[in-house]
DNA sequence: ATGGCAATGTTTCATTGA
């Protein structure tokens, strides 16, 4: 099965691109971030017509996540948020699809190192770590996909010198990201040889996409069971080339049955 | 040092993103 993650930066604006991409890529599961809409306004009917069911955790204007599953599959045991972590921001939704536990995450941005939002980001990542450890104990087939807002290594950054110490690459954030993997998760992208300078996000400004001035901040983390079944993982840059694109590109992992 | 681009709602600017 094909499992994907895409920060669409508004489901309303990006719906035509999402529908085109689903028709072309035909993933079985898609984790969406920054849908920026409340659940009642989520375009269920359009996605249903395209062959997808959805589990949605939305809010007005900001954040919001969803999991799409090809209609033949069932979205079971849907859970919103991180249990025990009180948070008004809708950043996490989980569901079980065809025996695989899927956790869709939109990690906080962090704004600037040392800011209140940065502290919130670190607290949020620590809470996510505890949650994922518990999920892993319950679900041997676990996939955690989303926008982590952390570039794990310098090779995930177009200009490590310019970014040194900045939010998204600071050592506390990277340590928090690595801690997510410790209970037994692998970064699917790094299971394979990859082209250098592969990124998943490019700033809208300064012609960043044309210069490939990006960061690899969107990832798919796989439990050992799923990592062994993983046959490939790549970034699909095609949607980023379109008119009025999301600033993020989809990341796709291929899992054998 | 700053802004540059995009989306949203509180809209003709402020906030947030990364």
Name the active-site residue from A52, A118, A131, A147. Answer: A147
Residue nearest to nucleotide B10 (CA to C1'): A61
pLDDT, residue A71, reads 84
Q: Which residue is nearest to nucleotide B18 (CA to C1')?
A: A109
In the predicted structure, residue A189 carries a pLDDT above the cut 90? yes
Q: Give the pLDDT score at A206.
A: 94
**Mean pLDDT over residues A158-162, rounded?**
96
For A88-146, how does the pLDDT look when each residue is reduced to its tens digit (9 = 90+)?
Answer: 999 999 999 999 999 999 999 999 999 999 999 999 999 999 999 999 999 999 999 99
Task: Evaluate if residue A256 carries a pLDDT over 90.
Answer: yes
Q: Is A86 exposed, middle or buried (0-12, 13-18, 19+ CB in 10 A)?
A: exposed
- Residues 177-236 of chain A with CB under 7 A from strand B are 201, 203-206, 215, 217
Whether pTM > 0.85 for this model: the answer is: yes
Rounded distance between C-alpha atoms, residue A254 and residue A145, angstroms? 13
Q: Which of A106, A131, A187, A247 is catalytic?
A: A106
Binned at pLDDT 50, 70 and 90, residue A72 comes out as: confident
Mean local confidence (pLDDT), A148-176: 97
**B1 C1' – A158 CA distance, angstroms?**
22
Other Cβ atoms closer than 10 A to A193? 5
What is the structure's pLDDT at A214? 98
Q: Is the pLDDT of residue A173 over 90?
A: yes
Whether nucleic acid strand B comes within 7 Å of the CB of A117, the answer is yes
Nearest to A226 by CA among A72, A2, A70: A2
On the 0-12 / 13-18 / 19+ scale of CB atoms within 10 A, A60 is exposed
A5 touches strand B (CB under 7 A): no
- Strand B: which nucleotides have any atom within 7 A of a protein Cβ? 3-10, 16-18
Each residue's pLDDT tens digit, A25-47: 999 999 999 999 999 999 999 99
Calculate the alpha carbon distances from A156 to A62, A98, A167, A219, A245 in Å. Answer: 26, 32, 14, 11, 21
pLDDT in tens, A2-18: 999 999 999 999 999 99
């Amino acid at each position: 099965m094909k499992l994907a993650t895409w920060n669409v930066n508004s489901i309303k604006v990006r719906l035509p691109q999402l529908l085109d991409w689903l028709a072309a890529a035909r993933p079985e599961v898609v984790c969406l971030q920054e849908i920026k809409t409340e659940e009642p306004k989520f375009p269920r009917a359009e996605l249903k017509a395209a062959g997808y069911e959805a589990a949605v955790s939305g809010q007005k204007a900001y954040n919001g996540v969803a999991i799409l599953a090809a209609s033949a599959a069932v979205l079971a045991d849907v859970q919103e948020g991180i249990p025990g972590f009180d948070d008004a921001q809708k950043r996490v939704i989980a569901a079980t699809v065809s025996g695989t536990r899927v956790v869709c995450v939109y990690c906080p941005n962090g704004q600037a190192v040392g800011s209140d939002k940065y502290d919130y980001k670190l607290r949020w990542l620590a809470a996510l770590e505890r949650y994922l450890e518990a999920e892993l104990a319950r679900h041997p087939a676990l996939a955690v996909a989303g926008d982590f807002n952390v570039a794990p290594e310098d090779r995930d950054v177009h200009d490590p010198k310019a970014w040194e110490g900045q939010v998204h690459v600071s050592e506390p954030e990277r340590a928090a990201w690595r801690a997510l993997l410790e209970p037994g998760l692998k970064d699917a992208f790094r299971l394979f040889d990859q082209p250098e300078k592969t990124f998943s996000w490019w700033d809208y400004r300064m012609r960043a996409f044309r210069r490939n001035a990006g960061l690899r901040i969107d990832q798919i983390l796989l439990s050992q069971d799923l990592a062994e079944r993983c046959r490939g993982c790549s970034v699909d840059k095609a949607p980023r080339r379109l008119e009025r694109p999301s600033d993020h590109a989809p990341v796709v992992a291929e899992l054998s049955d």
